[in-house]
Amino acid sequence: MPGKGLVHVYTGFSKGKTTAAMGLALRALGQGMSVLVVQFLKGGGSVSGEIKMLSKIPGAEIIRFTDQRHPLFCKDGCDIDELRKSIRWGFALAKEKLLSGEYDLAVLDEINNCVKEGWLEAGEVVSVIKEKPEGLELVLTGRGCPREIIELADYVTEMTVIKHPAENGVKARRGIEF
């Protein structure tokens, strides 16, 4: 489709990383491209609006892991060893899928957090970037993207908080933040 696939990184400590990636996925689907979205660390809760909509569009494959939730959002605590196992299994599945050559665009949502927290090695993600099919556009989201991934990426966008309603006690709102 678009020729040589490039690597995008959406990182930083503000809102918008997943939203940007899902917007790109929607744009690609609108142009007849096939899209793979793999969401790490977002299981156990309600499905976001963008995932609900993307999953209805032909050409989109969505993979979520219901047993993966970032420890910050576990009310009763998380078993870190089980979380690590699930992330590693999920990453192996994602790698198999995106190396298959079946997709024009792949989004690994929150993969940077998995590396930052030590649940995956940066080298594993670097190897996927280097092995990806030439035409695959690859998007990596999440806070704390390591330098070695940033250096390989073609696009790097860092989301920075200037002002956020949470600072005034406004909770996440359905349809806006999720």
pLDDT tens digits, 31-86: 999 999 999 998 877 788 899 999 999 999 999 998 877 766 666 777 788 989 99
Q: Which domains does the chain have, with CATH numbers?
A: 7-168 (3.40.50.300)
- Please provide residue 92's backbone torsions phi and psi, each rounded to the nearest 5 degrees: -60, -40
Distance, in Å, from the CA atom of 98 to the CA atom of 79, rounded to the nearest integer, reads 28
User: Which stretches within the chain are classed as H helix?
Assistant: 17-30, 49-54, 80-99, 111-116, 122-131, 147-152
Distance, in Å, from the CA atom of 39 to the CA atom of 37, rounded to the nearest integer, reads 6
pLDDT band at 1 (very low <50, low <70, confident <90, very high): low
Triad 164, 167, 173: Cα angle to 5°: 65
Place of tokens 């050559």: 101
